[in-house]
Chains A and B, each alone.
Chain A
Amino acid sequence: MHNYTKTVIKVILPCLLFFALSCPLLAQEKDSVTTTVIKFKRPTGPQVSGVVIGASSKKPLPGISVTVTGYAAAITDEKGNFKIGVPNYNAVLVISGQGYQVKEEALKGRKTISKIVLYEERYVSVYDAAILPFGTALKNRTPYAVGTVNLNGSWERANETADSYLQGKIAGLEAIRKSGTPDIGAALYLRGYNSLYAANQPLIVVDGVIYDVNTYGSSIISGHQNNRLANIDLKDIDNITLIKDGASIYGTKGANGVLMITTGRAKDVATRLDFSAYGGYNATAGQLPVMQADNYRIFLSDLLKTKPGITDALIKAEPYMNDQPNPAFYNYHQNTNWQDRVMSSGISQNYYLKVTGGDDIATYALSLGYLSNDGLTDSTNLTRYQTRFNANLNLSAKLKSQVNLAFTRSEQNLRDQGLAYSTNPLYLALVKAPFLSPFELSETGVQSPNLADTDIFGTSNPSAAIKNVQALNRSYRFSGSIGFNYEFNKAFKANTVVGITYDKVRENYFTPMLGIAPVLLPTAVGYNKAAAGVQRLFTVNTDTWLSYSKDLNEVGKLSANLGFRLQHSSAEVDNGTSFNTASDDFVTLGGTQSTLRVVGGSLGKWNWLNNYFNVNYEAYNKYFLSFNIAADASSRFGKDIPDVLNFNGVKMALMPSLAGSWLISSESFMANNNFVESLKLRASYGLTGNDDIGNYTAKSYYVSQNFLGRQGLVRGNIGNTALKWERNAKLNIGVDASFLKERLNLSVDIYQNKVSDMLIYEPLLTSTGFSYALSNGGAMSNKGLEIALNGRLINQTGLKWDMGLTYSLNRNKISQLGGNNQLITEYSGATIITQIGAAANLFYGYKSNGVYASDAEAAASGLSNKTADGAFIPFQGGDMKFADLNGDKVIDERDRQVIGNPNPDFVGAYSNKLSYKRWSLDALFTFSYGNDIYNSTRAILESMSGYNNQSLAAVNRWRVDGQLTDVPRASWGDPSRNARFSDRWVEDGSYLKLRTISLSYNVPIKANFIRSATVYAIANNVFTVSNYLGYDPEFSAGNSVFARGVDTGLEPSFRSMFLGVRIGL
């Protein structure tokens, strides 16, 4: 088989190329509106005249192009006047000009148009260009729910990746930044969860080629997630369009929406050079309040009294309790602020150069970039180099070609985060005893430069976790594509794109013996540890289609596309871990003890074929209808799926969709309505699928099982050869409207997405010998509302104020979970329930109600606690009162209830852009409301069950019988499980953030050779308004739905400030 797939590729690729070359292709030009081929016809018919003025200047605009697509064109004179022939008085004028928005004006029977208001390029408008799979369309003409962002380089943003940049930009797309680590990106959810166990990330298509951003294998560095999207520099991106529905053209990859990204190309043949640079300062995050040495020592003595077998005399004998002069006195009488030791401010800088130009035959755009950015954790940083080359070639009058090449290399020094309790410096800084020193101290208290070793409590030295741990991540990505378009005649074009992606991540990791707690292994003690990992992805994507476009008659236009996409991917993950090199100076895997080596990895391959057909019909420029259908085959689908399309034994997924829109504002009866600029009603319904069901899960397979040193085979699963794609039926109704000459724009969508055949792990009978089997037994729905509102509050010549608001509300409901009513999952200490009739992924734990003030009160309750090993212990004074839900006087797992919902009530953003003459101020606020967070860090910092340093809240702990407090007692090992997963740790995660604010000044240029110059100042994460007690209410610990809202202790985001300059030559 291995050889066979190779042959497939060997055969198919040349075929495709041949196909592409011999049946030449068409291309759709990017800026189709501005470059529309204009056929000049003698204006024999009716004529229309009008005047075009600038929105804020209110002055006539000369040199603006006015066209009737495919019929006539004109250019405004110095007074902004134009006169143009039209086929009839129901035609639509397209008005465009350099530096201005494109706009459409329906005549609606009018013969003169008094004022056509044209806004500057960056204004968010109903006429924004949307990049769709078969070309660019103005948003007011698409029947689908799409969101577009025209970045224009987005020079006013610093240190963003495409996914984090999208936060708050498009209603319905929730972007949760994963952590404060540079380049880590954001988790993207379109309209809530679309799957429980399969991918939720939208499909990303860059310049027509699918850009795989899924993770194959996890990082060997704890808490780190590789962000493939960071390999595209934001300044290279021209436009991002999110197709929220109607993605059925992408078949079983479209369920999470499709994010179409186009990168910058030369807009004309003139040679242009853009250079930008910024540098900045990264601040540290605010510290969590933990105890200092005095409080901690008292806490320790309280705690140790509850340790079985410990007497007061033994406690006094502990070195850290001995205040008399002794050799170790200074070692235990410091007061270290450990958080200061592990967090550091840093600097960040970025340089970017882009050259565009060319001639009639070929245009090109070449960009180079360098970024360096220090992380919050001391000694962490990121360096990234990237280059991109895009070219358009006019090979003949009919044959055109595009070439895209991009290469990125980044190198990132990291440290463990999250659940790595002996190596995560941020965690260690919180729990490390404050009376210790990071350095060795002499008997007289003189500090040595040597770092102190693991302490008497077995806690690593946070400074060692910073200085001597190595965690290096190096990633590379090459993506290249070449496309051809051949125009047979006016109606028919053939197109093909072939893209290759090669992505590799290399990681090296080392933790030293000195200062880091050793690990107990089955056959040895691991004193130091080295690990290495490699993740590889190789993908070939092709897309080949025939397009047809024709004006059928005076009223109707038809366009259609028929084609197929083919994806062949292989992913490989290899990693190795071992221990005990000869000394901490030997940091590579090769130097470790060979008998302790553990190697692992995985191999995956998949093929996907997507055949599609699309037909669009429009009539009178106001009725639009679009039908899409895809038939997908995939190596991931089972062989025995009943009742689906079967082609020669290959099971196929059929995904149709239909969408229609009515541009009411183009109706004649709206002709004299000056209030409404544009009004469009949309409705769509369609099927999409999710093929992320695992490469081989639909097969019965065997895995290896050792018997001593020999390898045998055992069953790996109960195969489900009927396993198929998840199905997502999307219904969407929307309105796009613009009022008062575009001063106010509004887009509202309501939707219902029904997910069925959803992948779940069904619990099985004991007697099957397996715990779970994969099935398509789940179903859920999402209903929601999205509003995107923006407008211009002040519209003066010098002063402009644009404001925007996006608002998204989604309600998720599980309707089916196979044969079960609920699924209970664990993630990082949190218990999560997913049950029929409720939203997926709710926190499921105990409800608390204060602390028993006295032993008598506890005894009176009659309650006892069921311990982890099944014993029953009565509660006592100072224990938490937990609700006894079933009234059986025992607090056990049957008393758990829903104690929180990590899903927000609504999310959104509020943006402002204020321009005054050459100054411009941008501010973006983002918010999330009503989402709950499990604060696992606080659960540790208030558990009071071991040597860990605790938060200041623990000072208020219950200490004497009768004391009224809401913090329970300190107890060794927490036998009453006061720190169990309960509503004590579930907090409101609502927040409002001033994400970014930037001020720019457009410097007046006298010199000839400089086209433009802008200086700007940017601040990120200026402030956060939140009641959350952890570092940062915004985080995403993993791609899994079940990780949502679980704060595992990742690096928080931090404030940063930049000064930058942009120069155009």
Chain B
Amino acid sequence: MLVLSSILSCKKAFDIEPEDALEASQTYRNVYDADAAVLGIYGKFVKLADKYMLLNELRGDLLDVTSNANNYLKQLGTQTVAADNPYADPKPFYEVIINCNDALKNFNIMRDKKLLDNTQYYQRYTDILFLRSWLYLQLGIHYGTVPYVTDALTTIADLQDESKFPKLSFEDLLSRLIAETEATPREFLNQNTSAASPTLILPMDVYIVKDGVFKFFIQRRSFLGDLNLWKGNYLKAAGYYKDVMETGTNSSTGSDQQIDLYDTYRVGDDNSQDHSLKTTAVLNPWTKIFSAPLADRIANWERMWTLPFSSSFSPGNPLLALFSRSGDYLVKPSNLSMRNWDNQIRADGSLTDRRGLDMSYRLVNGIEPEVLKYSQNYSLSTPFDKTGVWVIYRAAVLHLRYAEAANRLDRKVLAGALINSGIKAAFGTKALYNGVADTYPFDFNGDGGTIRGNWYRNSGIRGRAVNQDYPITAANTVVEVEDRIMQEEALETAFEGYRWQDLLRIALRRQSTDPNYLANKIAAKFDAAGDGASASLVRSRLANKENWYLPFKLK
């Protein structure tokens, strides 16, 4: 009996730690555990790429289904999504969210236990907080009202606790997200770098440690700009965007930061053929944004948040199967999107936008349009090399969104300058508003004189594509300029996952003045394809605001 009681008193004999999984008590013990949590979350996050593309593009007007597509994909296009539609299942988002919640909870505990110092804590906490907010923004965009779960749900009992699953409308959700993200101290709003998180950002596989290359982690300021733009806080949004544009101005050049910060995020042109994304008569380097290797210096002036795909590692490259003619080829550029490019006039007066055919898409066998942004590096001769990159955010988007915010604050000419041919072309020197040099966040100096302004090299989005400008003057209405910005967005960022978001944002903004904005925009896709039935179906579906959002599958 002595033996017996001694066994029982050995509590640990009945508490065996698993050897092929880590028990909760074995994690979050040091900074490396915290890093593992961050890496795990990003590992899961990458898997959302195809879903994100489909929800944001197929529901928009630039991407259409092919004849290979199943009915569920067609439902996304015709805005008739049924609850059982697997592409509309919000669970994959929550799979990442639950891990974010868990990490955030444990980062707090680690800070309290002094397992993380202030910088370690804030770098990781902010990153995951922002990522979770990004996910919730997506959920809000697509589902409207969603359960805002911030608890780590560590026990079964938590599942019965309804207070842990509060439902927030999109508006309330935005307020919550802004309040939570803006509570972050300003010094931690920069994108994570190896200097800030030396243990987290380590070389891996073919990727060398370069902070201009290692942009796997969320771009915090631009996301704050986005949140505020959605909320209608245009001045704040413009401020955040402007801060990002000035990354080169504000950042010191550490030994690790070997790329030319100066040209980063300015949509610039350094006047040489091989140092710029600017289209010249013979070269169109613009496409490098989507195809250049991760370490490519010039493409990284543009790329702000990228996640690479590698055939060597799960999940491979899910976008290839979706878009490539050699894959499943489920989706293709819509007729409308191709017409958009065809209708452009280049600076030299010739026709069609050079970002269209053979850049954003190509025609396989001369007839079958295929999105090229993801499959340029893909070759049938090496079918298993599926290297690719998911560009989640880039400078052109930053400029377009800044223009959108600025325009709403009556900076129509400035907005026009950024989407046309740049600050210098529009203002010559400093950006003006009502005749005087504008102030932060609208202060740009495009002076090309002896003392050149920071924005001297800015070429503008159309300028970089060498298109003719849209004439935009102070006489244009805000709505007209906004439409121009949307139009340019379709040309510059088609198929990248921004379209539905941008259209919905404008639709929400114009709800009272133009309630059918979204319906007309999406219906135009089917009109252009000659599918009148679907066009009228979409028009009638989207006339009802409730149908702007997908059904949320509860279980």
Contact = CB atoms under 8 A, between A and B. Distances in A.
A648 B9 CA distance: 6
Contacts of A764: 159, 555
Contacts of A703: 21-22
B248 to A, nearest CB: 28
Contacts of B384: 522-524
Interface string B69-81: 0111011000000
Nearest to A15: B3
A758 to B, nearest CB: 15
Given A1-B17, A522-B384, A709-B312, A699 B23 contact: yes
Nearest to A699: B23
A767 B149 contact: yes
Contacts of B89: 766
Contacts of B72: 869-870
Interface string A709-721: 1111111101111
A708 interface: yes
Nearest to B39: A712
A871 B316 CA distance: 29
Interface in A677-708: 695-696, 699-708
A773 B156 CA distance: 8
B309 to A, nearest CB: 9
A428 to B, nearest CB: 27
Contacts of A446: none
Interface stretch (B97-105, B190-198, B232-240, B505-513): B97-105
A718 B44 CA distance: 17
How many B residues are at the interface, by size bracket?
35 or more
Contacts of B85: 870
Nearest to A718: B153
B8 A609 contact: yes
Contacts of B523: none
A858 B154 CA distance: 53
B156 A700 contact: no
Contact of A648 (B11, B19, B207, B313): B11
B476 interface: no
A605 interface: yes
Interface centre among A611, A705, A720 (most CB of B within 10 A): A705
Given A633-B14, A696-B23, A707-B40, A19 B3 contact: yes
Contacts of A637: 14
Nearest to B43: A707
B204 A649 contact: no
A881 B2 CA distance: 72
Given A522-B384, A718-B155, A767-B94, A705 B43 contact: yes
A450 interface: no
A991 to B, nearest CB: 40
B16 A611 contact: no
Given A607-B13, A714-B43, A867-B71, A768 B312 contact: no
Interface stretch (A2-10, A480-488, A507-515): A2-10
Contacts of B39: 705, 707, 710-713
A768 B153 contact: yes
B19 A605 contact: yes
A712 to B, nearest CB: 3
Contacts of A921: none
B94 A768 contact: yes
Nearest to A603: B19
A564 interface: yes
Contacts of A522: 311, 316, 384
Interface stretch (B30-38, B269-277, B337-345, B370-378): B30-38
B33 to A, nearest CB: 7
Contacts of B19: 2, 603-605
A769 B91 contact: yes
A524 B386 CA distance: 11
A769 B39 CA distance: 18
B495 interface: no
B308 interface: yes
A609 B42 contact: no
Interface string A750-775: 00000000000001111111110101
Contacts of A12: 3, 7
A15 B21 CA distance: 32
Given A650-B8, A765-B555, A871-B70, A770 B98 contact: yes
A5 B22 contact: no
Given A714-B99, A715-B99, A702 B24 contact: yes
Interface in B93-141: 94-99, 102
Contacts of B147: 765, 767
B90 to A, nearest CB: 6
Contacts of B529: none
B14 A634 contact: yes
A606 interface: yes
B467 to A, nearest CB: 37
A16 interface: yes
B349 interface: no
A2 B315 CA distance: 33
A635 interface: yes
Contacts of A649: 11
Given A648-B11, A710-B202, A705 B40 contact: yes
Contact of A713 (B37, B91, B146, B156): B37
Contacts of A722: 156
A766 B154 CA distance: 16
B431 to A, nearest CB: 41
Interface in A627-675: 633-635, 637, 639, 647-650
A699 B156 CA distance: 11
Interface string B146-168: 11010001111011000001000
Contacts of B311: 522-523
Given A773-B159, A870-B72, A607 B23 contact: no
Contacts of A602: 20
Nearest to A542: B3
Given A710-B39, A769-B95, A718 B21 contact: no
A635 B7 CA distance: 12
Contact of B27 (A702, A707, A775): A702
B208 interface: no
Contacts of B316: 522-523
A973 interface: no
A649 to B, nearest CB: 5
Contacts of B555: 763-766
Given A4-B12, A709-B313, A768-B94, A870 B36 contact: no
B198 to A, nearest CB: 14
Contacts of A605: 16, 19
B46 interface: yes
A892 to B, nearest CB: 9
Contact of B71 (A709, A710, A768, A870): A870
A5 B19 CA distance: 13
A637 B153 CA distance: 20
A70 interface: no
A764 to B, nearest CB: 6
- Which 3 interchain pairs have the tightest Cβ spacing? A869-B70, A712-B40, A712-B39
14 contacts: A1-B16, A19-B3, A602-B20, A605-B16, A650-B8, A701-B23, A702-B24, A713-B27, A713-B37, A714-B40, A714-B41, A718-B153, A767-B165, A769-B94
Given A609-B4, A701-B22, A718-B156, 8 more contacts: A1-B16, A8-B13, A523-B311, A603-B20, A604-B19, A702-B22, A712-B39, A769-B153
Interface of A: 1-2, 4-5, 8, 12, 15-16, 19, 522-524, 544, 564, 566, 595, 601-607, 609, 611, 633-635, 637, 639, 647-650, 695-696, 699-716, 718-722, 763-771, 773, 775, 867-872
